[in-house]
């Protein structure tokens, strides 16, 4: 094990010599005869592990040296033992208040000096060990959070791809609607009505959960889900059940975990209520106004806009401008007025998202 380094600071050569001879058999010793020199040595290699600092020095005294050491991030934690002939309790309190670790009084008593130095170095080793342990634990927490984040994202994408495998129209729709929801949320996060629901964490969970909005389609029979044409009334009634089916599946997954899971809660809201309408005429529960969760209100607009601009076997794709007019007409009836306004104000951004993810 390498010797620990001690910096001795004293304007008297005799005092430096006495302390150096006392400590050199056990430690690497560096010496400074002024406060200015001590500050330079304190940040040079080999860095000192401990400073023995004389209080009464001409020019820059020990108090100022200590203050300067504590003010520099590179030396702010460096333990300092004051070496002084002063016996005034006020002086001792002043040094301790400035951050001195302890005092060694003159005349020097070798056993006392060794004991004080050893104690401070042991304390410093312990602090280093604790700091290293804390850094390791913090890194481990970050690693596990990142790992959980990836696992969560992969799980969501796997479930979304399950729906995609049943319905070939779903794949790009998932990505585009996720982009639309993210854009709406960013534009509304400062709005008084939405700010409490769209902090950084909630926004992240919302965007992450968005791909699960149509997960319930895995429960719709192929003859309806894959029908190459428009659905009749009975078929449409069955298709509408995908909202409740998706929410129920997510609720069961959360129940299996045995505790609330934030992203699953949002995913469940989106899956069940993204077809609700502001005026209460939607499905499956006929919710209206603010009774519809914010996440579902954002997805409602994103879902409709994407459906309008996407070609299907039973319809041609609508132009962006025509789709915009449909959204404007649905303001206050189909869509939350403020959500519709956010879309209209950011229309160019939504066109850009759609253009990047065309089929």
Report DSSP letters for 227-294, one per residue: -SS---HHHHHHHHTHHHHHHHHHHHHHHHHTS--HHHHHHHHHHHHTT--TTS--SSS---GGGS-H
Q: What pLDDT score was predicted for residue 359?
A: 43
CB 156 within 8 A of CB 178: no
Decide if domain 5-136 falls under CATH 3.40.50.2300: yes
Element (H, E) at 121: helix 110-166
Task: Name the residue among 112, 110, 121 with its Cα closest to residue 21.
Answer: 110
> What does the domain layout of the chain look like in residue ranges?
5-136, 167-356
CA distance 222 to 29: 83
Degrees, nearest 5: CA angle 204-141-258: 65
Q: What pLDDT score was predicted for residue 298?
A: 98
Task: Name the residue among 184, 169, 186, 205 with its Cα closest to residue 301.
Answer: 184
CB 256 within 8 A of CB 216: no
Tell me how crowded residue 155 is: count the other CB atoms within 10 A of its CB.
14
Task: Name the residue among 216, 109, 112 with its Cα closest to residue 167.
Answer: 216
| C-alpha dist (Å) from residue 249 to 61, 212, 236, 256 | 73, 11, 21, 11
Q: What pLDDT score was predicted for residue 172?
A: 74
**If you count them, how many residues does the chain have?**
359
Placement of tokens 């076997």 in the chain? 313
CB 220 within 8 A of CB 241: yes
Instruction: Quote the tokens at residue 242.
Output: 């995908």
Three-state DSSP class for 8?
strand
Q: What pLDDT score was predicted for residue 164?
A: 63
CB 7 within 8 A of CB 35: no
Topology (CATH) of 167-356: Hypothetical protein af1432 (1.10.3210)
Instruction: Quote the tokens at residue 10.
Output: 């004293």
Question: Positive or negative CA dihedral for 325, 326, 327, 328?
Answer: positive
Compute, in degrees rounded to 10, the torsion defined by CA atoms 187, 189, 191, 192.
170
CB 60 within 8 A of CB 24: no
Task: Name the residue among 19, 79, 71 with its Cα closest to residue 49.
Answer: 79
CA distance 159 to 242: 14
Task: Name the residue among 288, 146, 314, 311 with its Cα closest to residue 228.
Answer: 314
Three-state DSSP class for 1?
coil
- pTM tops 0.95: no
Tens-of-pLDDT digits for all 359 residues of the chain? 678 999 999 998 988 898 999 999 899 999 999 999 999 999 999 999 999 998 888 889 988 999 899 999 999 889 998 888 765 556 667 777 777 878 787 888 888 888 888 888 888 888 878 887 888 788 777 777 666 666 666 666 666 666 666 565 555 778 889 999 999 999 999 999 999 999 998 998 899 888 889 889 888 898 998 888 889 999 999 999 999 999 998 888 778 777 777 778 888 999 999 999 999 999 999 999 999 999 999 999 999 999 999 887 778 899 999 999 999 999 999 999 999 999 999 999 999 999 885 44
CA distance 198 to 186: 8
């Amino acid at each position: 094990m390498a010797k620990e380094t001690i910096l001795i600071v004293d304007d008297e050569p005799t005092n430096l010599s006495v302390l150096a001879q006392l400590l050199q058999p056990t430690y690497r010793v560096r010496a400074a005869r002024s406060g200015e020199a001590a500050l330079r040595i304190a940040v040079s290699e080999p860095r000192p592990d401990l400073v023995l600092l004389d209080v009464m020095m001409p020019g820059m005294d020990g108090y100022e040296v200590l203050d300067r050491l504590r003010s520099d991030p590179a030396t702010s934690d460096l333990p300092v033992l004051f070496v002084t002939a002063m016996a005034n309790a006020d002086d001792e309190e002043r040094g301790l208040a400035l951050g001195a670790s302890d005092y060694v009084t003159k005349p020097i008593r070798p056993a006392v000096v060794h004991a004080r130095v050893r104690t401070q170095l042991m304390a410093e080793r312990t602090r280093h060990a604790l700091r290293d342990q804390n850094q390791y634990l913090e890194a481990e927490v970050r690693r596990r959070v990142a790992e959980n984040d990836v696992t969560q994202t992969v799980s969501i994408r796997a479930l979304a791809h399950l729906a995609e495998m049943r319905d070939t129209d779903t794949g790009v729709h998932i990505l585009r609607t996720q982009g639309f929801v993210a854009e709406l949320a960013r534009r509304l996060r400062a709005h008084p009505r939405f700010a409490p629901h769209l902090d950084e964490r909630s926004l992240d969970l919302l965007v992450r959960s968005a791909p699960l909005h149509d997960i319930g389609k895995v429960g719709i029979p192929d003859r309806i889900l894959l029908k190459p044409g428009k659905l009749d009334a009975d078929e449409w009634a069955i298709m509408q059940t995908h909202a409740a089916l998706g929410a129920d599946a997510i609720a069961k997954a959360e129940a299996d975990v045995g505790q609330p899971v934030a992203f699953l809660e949002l995913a469940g809201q989106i899956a069940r209520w993204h077809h609700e309408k502001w005026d209460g005429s939607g499905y499956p529960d006929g919710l209206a106004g603010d009774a519809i969760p914010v996440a579902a209100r954002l997805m409602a607009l994103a879902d409709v806009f994407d459906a309008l601009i996407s070609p299907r076997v039973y319809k041609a794709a609508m132009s962006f401008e025509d789709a915009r007019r449909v959204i404007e007409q649905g303001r206050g009836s189909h869509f939350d007025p403020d959500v519709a306004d956010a879309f209209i104000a950011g229309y160019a951004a939504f066109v850009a998202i759609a253009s990047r993810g065309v089929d």
